[in-house]
Chain A
């Protein structure tokens, strides 16, 4: 296969992943705002889309490595990147179909690890970094975010218990708009950068850019637009899960959850810890649910999410490995992988149309039945 054609295929695939990353993660910022009515669904995803695009331009610290040191960079080829992206996209689509907020970042890392393993052997995978950069944050960050949101929610209800409830509810609604916007902005900055890094490294490995180059403007713009467009279209199935199926979220809880997510994401980024915005946002929502009334949280849903989180890395790795193995055989293999991936994505989309979730019915979920239990406030 002509290298330039492979590079083009990888760039298009990277932008496709960026798009899925956007609609998969819209819920991180906007699920609770939509659930509480602080923002109308279409308005919420529009704000999130715009702020993701803005966020993509806020940082130039891009393209350090496509895998944050998880694999031996010298072994990475366009075919490996292509395989990793295919694994990540398919896992994102599958979890979207089931409305599960799994980590797009972990799907990408898993895909790349699997593809690299097949292409260069197990020695090319830095398992120590996998533990410290993926597994440890995956365990700690949602628990930390959940505890913070729990404490914040408890305080919010305690402090405002003697206030005018109309004023309190309206005030937290306005607060939610700000806090949700912060999360959306942080998401655009973090996640759009990953795709920019992938495209930039692909261009470097293909000799189209000198080593150590930053992303060209068209890369920043295209990655920003892809994630913004995906965010705008809204992953309504996941928004419904996080906004309505975890707990019946009220405005103080929504504000506390989003403030906790924003604080953890920003503090971690500043401290140099890579984490999944999805897992942080999910942990926060569960914490906020527990902060008001412990029994109102649907822990069964939490179990499903935990299972998806556990499976994300290995599942994406297996698909990434298969895709990289097939692609490494040349043009025919790459074309076959692309056709199979497109067919699977079309099948997943067709399956989703049987029970469509849209902006019009995203909040049409019966409230979880709370068990009478002493409230925190």
Chain B
């Protein structure tokens, strides 16, 4: 008994001490946790954002950067938000975040450089412009950004020859970089050479299997070649990473072509749940309702889609057919007129574009393309054609005049 008492005495003495230690430890731990949760979480989100950015998952990058900025409103986070929005072609948000980055201490020369990249990327200045040359003095990371902006600028002004040349040199310099393959794949998508696009996207994925844009491009290229089962496999991989409306639309298209119309409908509905204003999903669902003779539902979806892209032939035509079948003949005729006009314009632009690809110096045909596009509401694309003309001939008066009329 006494032994037991002897053993228990120090324990009884230690008890308040240990308790104090525990409390101190707890306080320290909680303090540490409170102190470190912000920077740690910021770092975590920021790293996630950079990873998404490198994988060209710009929507995911924006989400992660916004989360990071919520934990620490840093110049760094706003700079990368600006850069990501530049890639997403959102000039308003690009400018806003770049300004916020500067306000939070971003070096002005970095901001200027980013601004210049935005200008290059939008095709507003020619490659011969003296402001472009200094961009080439860049770190590896910026090398990619500069080349990316220049290639996109060349595509933007329909100078495909220059764009492809830049991509080739990029690929030679960095053979393991997936980006040049992705860009060339996008070019082949633009010219609708689907098997060539497929090959490029496959090369890109070999060099970077997490490149979601390459996988989406590959899925589209396969879909356009009517290889729906293969396309579906790629889309399902995209689902695992980030299921957005584009992925759901592609899945729906594949399922439709496999004859599974109800499953296609479910996919497009998922797409609209992710983005209620997704044009392709709206059009696809509207056409499905048209096929099923459900006119009111078709009208609702197609009218919403028309509001998003009023100059697109496909949606006007689908809407016109729906109106015709539902007995609104006069309204249908109005829509058919707009659809026929859009179709004729698109046919003319396609024929002229083919001609221009073979005769890149024919500025008058380029100007005709621009005029057709501008008269059919495609201001940005029309503007790009006009800028392309000025790159080839800075003194082209008509192009200059039209640009001045359009841009304030």
A and B interact physically:
no
A binding-site residues for B, Cβ under 8 Å: none
